[in-house]
């Protein structure tokens, strides 16, 4: 075993990780992995050849991880497999592979619910890895009734495909007098021609780093104002022909770290998009305006300027028009989304349909795998083509290492941006007076740290909208993989305290790649739930975190070896809010007719009638005691008037780095309390206008 060193100040996934990359699993680690997999997904080992294929797939998946992650997994398997680990659960000191089946189940169960955080981290990391890998296989997907890519078949349920009726611009969904002829539009084709790197130094008026909701909007605004814009994107340029609607391909190509990005303790999964278009390629299209009380908090606590509700209203109007944001009509909701509307109506709670950024949507259900038809009006379909049409140049596969200030003084001194073209390994340089950092709230603070830029809040105040799920089992078909993923919300619990912090409830899509690891438990119980896949509905509870105002619950920093550390702790106040939302989601399920409800707690709680919902209260909610994820990552370079606690000034400019701006979710001073896409686009538009005004005043 390689030597080990302390990491993450003793507060990471494990307190110690290998100091050198792990090239391959040892034989002992591999045997422990195989033994654990046999207990986590025992059905896969009923056929020896299938079980062997799964083990090979697990080893291959581990090999794709970053060096540090490979080291963590290898060490986790070493610890799980050791004789001494059996003693921690009251067993005789035998290696995991030599324990009886019942003892192995006991071992895993006890570690999943252990009071020792490291044991929970190890057990959850192995559990999720095995379940994810198994339920990406065609065999497992076929066994649970998953229907697979929409474009390869006809609509199978009433909530897939075009709607009856006549075309109308007032809706986001395609209507046709003969829907059968409108189910399968041709694949979306991008008009963007990528730049070819020829080894020369690239020059521009402005460089935009990243192409998500913020970067795409900023690139379009600057290019359409007449600036020569160079866009650098670490990922690939894809379009509808590349979006094959396969879980495995999408998770590998379109998600950060192959959808396996987590906090250091594996307590929270972070879902982010990569590639040209970023998160707008994979999000579920919800368009919601920032609540007025959140904008007021930004003004009073953080000194934001010109971002009140009335001042931002024209920007929201503009964004909604540009991305064709329209409320989903009542006849377009899937059964999973009807759970919210029908359950809330029965309970007398507040719930509504939401607007989505789509045009001529045929309800394929694959928004999270890239929109094959081009109906989604994200960055790839709207702002980036506009930027390109206005002369912007896009260089994909360009991973930026650092930004260098080469001049001092002046409003917009020259900067050098150092990057690597990842397909060839060649180093490149780009020069411009204006640099926009839009890599998202994980990569942006990392780049600023490597560049030694930003205020005291850079990398701090990570806001995640921590999210957990409640599963309902129904006696009718739900098929959560079909239809528009997220079209309704319940905001009954949106303001649970005097400061406007609380939760809201939505219904996500259920595809095996994300749904199976999120489903609680392992072994026979998990398998039983997955075999009822078509009768499952998931509700997610999203918290507006940061109820401990002024305190940082998470951070992002670059370690000495260049890897990223992501730390996050759910505060007691936010945990209580999530708990209230979990109880509320369970009530919604039962009010909508669920016969059984399962929580994401470890161990999971099964409820069989509404009178039991308070059993969800009072449970431990530490790392890996409650399944948590977040697709909304904000706050690590936040706007603010105080450079000690913010990353950028109220105009979005990085402190003491004139001409360097941030344009992504890391700008947001707090969690916005709604799906953040529209907020990011509106705030970035305002910042773009201010930047252009400053530049005009400087050159006048």
The verdict on whether omega for the bond into residue 259 sits within 30 degrees of 0, i.e. cis, is no
Of 76, 208, 83, give the one whose Cα is nearest residue 130.
Answer: 76
Q: Which residues face 419 on adjacent strands?
A: 400, 428
What is d(CA 365, CA 332) in angstroms, rounded to the nearest whole number? 12
Percentage of the chain exceeding pLDDT 90: 90
Whether pLDDT at 178 is above 90:
no
Is the C-alpha dihedral spanning 323, 327, 331, 337 positive or negative? positive
6 has pLDDT over 80 = no
- For residue 180, what are the contacts with CB-CB under 8 A and spacing of at least 6? none
- Residue 17, pLDDT score: 41
User: To the nearest whole percent, how much of the chain has pLDDT over 70?
Assistant: 97
The answer to whether the CB of 210 falls within 8 A of the CB of 387 is no
The closest of 482, 477, 487, 556 to 515, measured between CA atoms, is 482
- Per-residue pLDDT for 7 more than 50? no
User: How high is the pLDDT of residue 606?
Assistant: 97
Q: How is residue 675 written in tokens? A: 């799906």
pLDDT band at 1 (very low <50, low <70, confident <90, very high): very low
Q: What is the DSSP string of 359-414?
A: SSB---S-GGG--SSS-B-STTTTHHHHHHHTT-EEE-SEEEEEEEE---SSSS--
**Residue closest to 641 by CA, chosen among 391, 299, 286, 392:** 299
Quick one: angle between helices 677-699 and 309-322, nearest 10?
100
Instruction: Using a cut of 0.75, tell me whether the model's pTM lies above it.
Output: yes
Mean pLDDT across 414-433: 96
The Cβ-side half-sphere exposure at 399, using a 13 Å CA radius, reads: 11
Q: How far is CA 66 from the centre of its chain?
A: 19
Confidence of residue 181 (pLDDT cuts 50, 70, 90): confident
Euclidean distance between CA atoms 133 and 37, whole angstroms: 10
Strand partners, 207: 230, 435
CA dihedral 309, 311, 313, 316 (to 10 degrees): -110
Evaluated on CA atoms 73, 75, 80, 82, the torsion sign reads: positive
pLDDT at 700: 67
Average pLDDT over residues 8-21: 39
Tell me the per-residue pLDDT of 509-520, one tens digit each, with 9 for 90 and over. 999 998 999 999
Report the pLDDT value the prediction gives residue 9, as an integer from 0 to 100.
Answer: 31
CA-to-CA distance for 450 and 453, rounded, in angstroms? 8
Express each pLDDT in 677-686 by its tens digit.
999 999 999 9
Environment class of 97 (CB within 10 Å of its CB; exposed 0-12, middle 13-18, buried 19+)? middle
DSSP 676-699: SHHHHHHHHHHHHHHHHHHHHHHH
Q: Report the candidate in 219, 265, 362, 22 with the shortest Cα–Cα distance to residue 687.
A: 219
DSSP code of residue 617 = T
Among residues 273, 257, 262, the alpha carbon closest in space to that of 64 is found at: 257
Q: Is 563 exposed, middle or buried (0-12, 13-18, 19+ CB in 10 A)?
A: middle
Residues 249, 275: Cα–Cα separation, whole Å: 13
pLDDT at 23 exceeding the cut of 90: no
Geometric angle at alpha carbon 176, from 171 and 181, rounded to 5°: 135
pLDDT at 231 over 70: yes
Encode pLDDT of 638-677 as tens digits: 999 999 999 999 999 999 999 999 999 999 999 999 999 9
Give the span between the Cα atoms of 386 and 383, in whole angstroms: 5
Mean pLDDT to the nearest integer, 403-426? 93
Question: Strand 415-421 relative to strand 268-270: parallel, antiparallel, unpaired?
Answer: unpaired
| DSSP letter string, 68-121 | HHHHHHHHHHHHHHSHHHHHTTT--S--GGGS-HHHHHHHHHHHHT-SSHHHHH
When pLDDT is averaged across residues 389-401 and rounded to a whole number, the result is 98
The answer, yes or no, to whether residue 486 has pLDDT greater than 80, is: yes
Q: Domain-by-domain residue ranges, the chain?
A: 4-134, 202-327+369-459+637-699, 467-630
**CA quadruple 529, 531, 533, 535: dihedral, nearest 10:** -80
Q: Which residue has the higher pLDDT, 178 or 30?
A: 30
State the DSSP H helix or E strand holding residue 202, giving kind and residue range, or none if neither.
strand 202-203
Length of the chain measured in residues: 700
pLDDT confidence tier of residue 353, bands split at 50, 70 and 90 = very high
Return the ∠ at Cα 505 (arms to 502 and 508), rounded to 5°.
140
Provide the mean pLDDT of the chain: 94
Q: Name the pLDDT band for 138 (thresholds 50, 70, 90).
A: very high
Assess contact for 67 and 24: CB atoms under 8 A. no
Query: Which secondary-structure segment (H or E) carries 506?
Result: strand 503-506
691/218 Cα distance (integer angstroms) = 10
Q: How confident is the model at residue 50 (pLDDT cuts 50, 70, 90)?
A: very high
Range among 11-25, 61-75, 81-95 rated most confident: 81-95
DSSP 8-class letter at 277: T
Question: Stretch 255-261: mean pLDDT, rounded?
Answer: 93
Instruction: Tell the CATH superfamily of the 202-327+369-459+637-699 domain.
Output: FAD/NAD(P)-binding domain (3.50.50.60)
Question: pLDDT confidence of 22, banded at 50, 70, 90?
Answer: low
Report how far apart, in Å, the C-alpha atoms of 644 and of each of 455, 460, 462, 638, 649 are.
Answer: 6, 11, 15, 11, 11
Q: Which of 670, 671, 466, 498 is nearest to 575 (CA)?
A: 466
User: What confidence tens digit (pLDDT) does each residue in 184-228 have?
Assistant: 999 999 999 999 888 889 999 999 999 999 999 999 999 999 999
Residue 420, phi then psi, degrees to nearest 5:
-125, 130
Asked if residue 346 has pLDDT above 80, the reply is yes
**Do 287 and 325 meet the contact criterion of CB atoms below 8 Å apart?**
yes
């Amino acid at each position: 075993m390689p030597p080990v060193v302390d990491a993450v100040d003793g507060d990471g996934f494990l307190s110690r990780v290998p100091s050198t990359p792990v090239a391959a699993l040892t034989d002992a680690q591999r045997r422990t992995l195989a033994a654990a997999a046999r207990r986590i997904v025992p059905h896969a080992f009923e056929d020896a050849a299938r079980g062997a294929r799964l083990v090979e797939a697990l080893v291959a998946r581990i090999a794709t991880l970053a060096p540090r992650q490979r080291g963590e997994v290898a060490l986790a398997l070493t610890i799980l497999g050791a004789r001494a680990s059996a003693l921690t659960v009251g067993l005789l000191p035998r290696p995991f592979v030599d324990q009886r089946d019942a003892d192995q189940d006991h071992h895993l169960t006890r570690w999943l619910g252990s009071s020792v955080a490291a044991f929970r981290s190890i057990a959850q990391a192995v559990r999720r890895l095995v379940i994810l890998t198994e339920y990406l296989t065609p065999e497992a997907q076929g066994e649970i009734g998953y229907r697979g890519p929409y474009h390869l078949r006809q609509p199978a349920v009433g909530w897939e495909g075009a709607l009856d009726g006549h075309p109308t611009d007032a809706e986001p969904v395609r209507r046709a007098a003969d829907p059968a002829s409108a189910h399968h539009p041709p694949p979306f084709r991008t008009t963007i021609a990528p730049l070819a790197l020829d080894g020369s130094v690239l020059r521009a008026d402005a460089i935009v780093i990243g192409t998500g909701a913020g970067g795409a909007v900023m690139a379009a605004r600057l290019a359409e104002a007449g600036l020569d814009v160079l866009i650098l994107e670490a990922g690939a340029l894809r379009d509808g022909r590349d979006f094959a609607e396969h879980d495995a391909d999408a998770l590998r190509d379109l998600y950060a770290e192959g959808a396996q990005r987590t906090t250091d303790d594996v307590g929270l999964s972070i879902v982010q998009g990569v590639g040209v278009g970023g998160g707008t390629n994979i999000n579920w299209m919800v368009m919601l305006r920032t609540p007025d009380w959140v904008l007021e908090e930004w003004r009073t606590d953080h000194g934001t300027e010109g971002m009140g509700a009335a001042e931002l209203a024209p920007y929201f109007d503009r964004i909604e028009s540009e991305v064709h944001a329209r409320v989903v009509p009542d006849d377009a909701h899937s059964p999973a989304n009807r759970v919210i509307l029908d359950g809330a109506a029965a309970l007398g709670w507040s719930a509504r349909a939401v607007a989505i950024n789509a045009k001529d949507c045929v309800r394929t259900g694959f928004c999270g795998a890239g929109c094959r038809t081009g109906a989604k009006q994200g960055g790839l379909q709207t702002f980036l083509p506009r930027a390109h049409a206005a002369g912007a140049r896009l260089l994909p596969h360009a991973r930026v290492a650092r930004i260098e200030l080469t001049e001092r003084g002046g409003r917009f001194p020259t900067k050098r941006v150092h990057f690597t073209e990842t397909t060839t390994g060649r180093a490149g340089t780009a020069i411009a007076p204006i640099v926009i950092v839009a890599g998202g709230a994980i990569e942006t603070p990392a780049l600023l740290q490597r560049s030694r830029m930003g205020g005291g809040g850079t990398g701090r105040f990570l806001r995640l909208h921590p999210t957990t799920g409640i599963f309902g089992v129904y006696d009718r078909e739900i098929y959560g993989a079909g239809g528009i993923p997220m079209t309704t919300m319940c905001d009954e619990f949106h303001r649970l305290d005097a400061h406007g912090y609380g939760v809201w409830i939505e219904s996500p899509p259920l595809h095996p790649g994300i749904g199976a690891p999120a489903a609680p438990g392992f072994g026979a119980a998990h398998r039983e739930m997955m075999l009822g896949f078509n009768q499952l509905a998931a509700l997610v509870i999203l918290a507006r975190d940061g109820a401990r105002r002024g305190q940082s619950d998470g951070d992002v920093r670059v370690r000495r070896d260049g890897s990223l550390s992501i730390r996050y702790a759910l505060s007691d106040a936010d945990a209580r809010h999530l708990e209230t939302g979990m109880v509320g989601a369970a009530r919604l399920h039962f009010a909508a007719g669920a016969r059984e409800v399962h929580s994401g707690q470890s161990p999971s709680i099964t409820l069989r009638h509404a009178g039991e919902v308070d059993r969800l209260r009072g449970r431990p909610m530490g790392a890996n005691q409650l399944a948590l994820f977040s697709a909304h990552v904000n706050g690590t370079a936040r706007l603010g008037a105080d450079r000690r606690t913010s990353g950028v000034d109220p105009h979005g400019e990085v402190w003491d780095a004139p001409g360097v701006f941030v344009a992504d979710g890391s700008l947001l001073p707090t969690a916005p309390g709604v799906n953040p896409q529209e907020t990011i686009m509106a705030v970035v538009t305002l910042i773009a206008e201010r930047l252009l005004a400053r530049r005009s005043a400087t050159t006048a």
